[in-house]
């Protein structure tokens, strides 16, 4: 949503400059703006409001404003204004293409203004957040596991490791560090931490679900990666994360859902008529092979 908003606002800012240049007046500010001029170009003002607008977009993208960035914005706006003024002198602002583009920018900016106003007037409340969290919490189910594994290329190597573990079960971590081919878990003795079994390939998950706590697979488990020896250290029911940790994401999600619902309602109530059919595609040229 932020990317779309940024694009709309930037286009809107450019449209203000173009409109200003097209006006041709020596002291005219950008259309719809009466703020203090940051700079003038051939007598046409680029306002502080316009510079601040683009600075805000820079901040939103994670790049804090600095004196240097402000000057870069002004330099860019000056160049755009100079080019826009020259385009206006040549009458390019009267072409159908330009007029259509400006209308598209106007519609986008106005639609964006509506969405921003709707969000301000219809904020996500704590009660809404709590209800959504409880709904998600109620649907959270299943089991997660804490396990280790040793991955080798050959079945015979896996069987040899299992034979060693039957004699010395406590050697699992040491054997994983020495023999496992999994670069992610090898340094930690095959430790996979807590995980949802659905993240694993089916063969691995199926073998894991049959193990008792503290037991390892007594037959090699073959997957697309090789042969595994798996040790189940613990299991527990899946728990929803604390509400405070997911509150920002929930708030954003609910806000987007509310906006979409409102826009869908507006669209459903609108009378939409398709008054023109798209031009038919030109016929494909005959193939040179069909002679």
- What are 133-181's pLDDT values in tens digits? 999 888 888 899 999 999 999 999 999 999 999 999 999 999 999 999 9
- How far is 270 from 56, CA to CA, in rounded Å? 34
Q: Worst-scoring range by mean pLDDT, 84-93, 207-216, 247-256, 268-277?
A: 268-277
With a threshold of 0.85, does the pTM exceed it?
A: no
Neighbours of 172 (CB within 10 A): 22
Angle, alpha carbons 133-136-137 (nearest 5°) = 80
Whether the pLDDT of residue 119 is over 50: the answer is: yes
Alpha-helix runs per DSSP H in the chain? 2-23, 48-60, 67-89, 96-121, 126-139, 155-167, 172-179, 202-209, 243-269
**Average pLDDT, integer, range 96-119:** 96
Question: What is the pLDDT, as a whole number, of residue 75?
Answer: 94
User: pLDDT averaged over the chain?
Assistant: 86
Segment 252-278 shows an average pLDDT of 92
221, β-bridge pairs: 228
First to last CA, the chain: 54
| Domain covering 142-237 assigned CATH 3.30.70.260 in the classification | no
Q: Which residue, chain included where needed, has tokens 């002291």?
A: 27
Choice among 21-25, 101-105, 135-139, 259-263 with the minimum mean pLDDT: 21-25
* DSSP strand pairing (191-195 vs 221-223): unpaired
- Give pLDDT, residue 215: 97
- 47-51: average pLDDT: 92
pLDDT for position 224: 96
Whether residue 285 is predicted with pLDDT greater than 80 in this model: the reply is: no
Q: Using 50, 70 and 90 to split pLDDT, how confident is the model at 241?
A: confident
What was the pLDDT predicted at 169? 94
Domain extent listing, the chain: 2-121, 142-237
Residue 20 pLDDT grade (very low, low, confident, very high; cuts 50, 70, 90): very low
pLDDT band at 186 (very low <50, low <70, confident <90, very high): very high
CB environment 31-64: b (16+ within 10 A), e (fewer)? eebeeebbeebeebbbbebbbebbbebbeeeeee
Work out the percent of the chain whose per-residue pLDDT is above 70.
83
Using pLDDT thresholds of 50, 70 and 90, give the confidence band for residue 9.
very low
pLDDT in tens, 214-223: 999 999 999 9
Confidence band, pLDDT 50/70/90 cuts, at residue 278: low
Whether residue 41 has pLDDT greater than 80: yes
**Nearest-angstrom CA–CA distance, 247 and 121:** 20
């Amino acid at each position: 949503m932020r990317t779309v908003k940024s694009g709309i606002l930037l286009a809107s800012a450019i449209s203000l400059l173009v409109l200003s240049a097209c006006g041709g007046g020596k002291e005219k500010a950008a259309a719809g703006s009466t703020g203090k001029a940051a700079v003038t170009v051939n007598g046409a003002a680029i306002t502080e409001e316009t510079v601040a607008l683009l600075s805000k977009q820079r901040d939103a993208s994670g790049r804090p404003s600095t004196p240097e960035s402000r000057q870069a914005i002004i330099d860019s706006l000056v160049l755009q204004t100079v080019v826009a003024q020259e385009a206006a002198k040549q009458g390019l602002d009267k072409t159908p293409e330009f007029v259509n583009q400006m209308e598209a920018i106007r519609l986008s900016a106005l639609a964006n203004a509506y969405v921003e106003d709707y969000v301000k007037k219809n904020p996500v409340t704590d009660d809404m957040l709590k209800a959504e969290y409880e709904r998600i919490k109620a649907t959270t189910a299943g089991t997660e596991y804490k396990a280790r594994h040793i991955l080798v290329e050959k079945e015979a190597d896996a069987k040899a490791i299992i034979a060693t573990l039957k004699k010395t079960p406590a050697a699992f971590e040491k054997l994983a560090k020495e023999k496992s081919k999994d670069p992610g878990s090898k340094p930690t003795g095959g430790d996979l931490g807590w995980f949802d079994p659905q993240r694993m390939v089916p063969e691995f998950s199926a073998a894991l679900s049959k193990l008792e706590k503290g037991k390892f697979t007594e037959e090699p488990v073959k997957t697309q990666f090789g042969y595994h020896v798996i040790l189940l250290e613990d299991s527990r029911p899946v728990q929803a994360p604390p509400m405070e940790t997911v509150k920002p994401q929930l708030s954003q999600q609910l806000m987007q859902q509310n906006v979409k619902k409102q826009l869908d309602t507006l669209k459903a109530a609108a009378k939409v008529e398709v008054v023109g059919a798209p031009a038919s595609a030109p016929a494909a040229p005959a193939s040179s092979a069909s002679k």
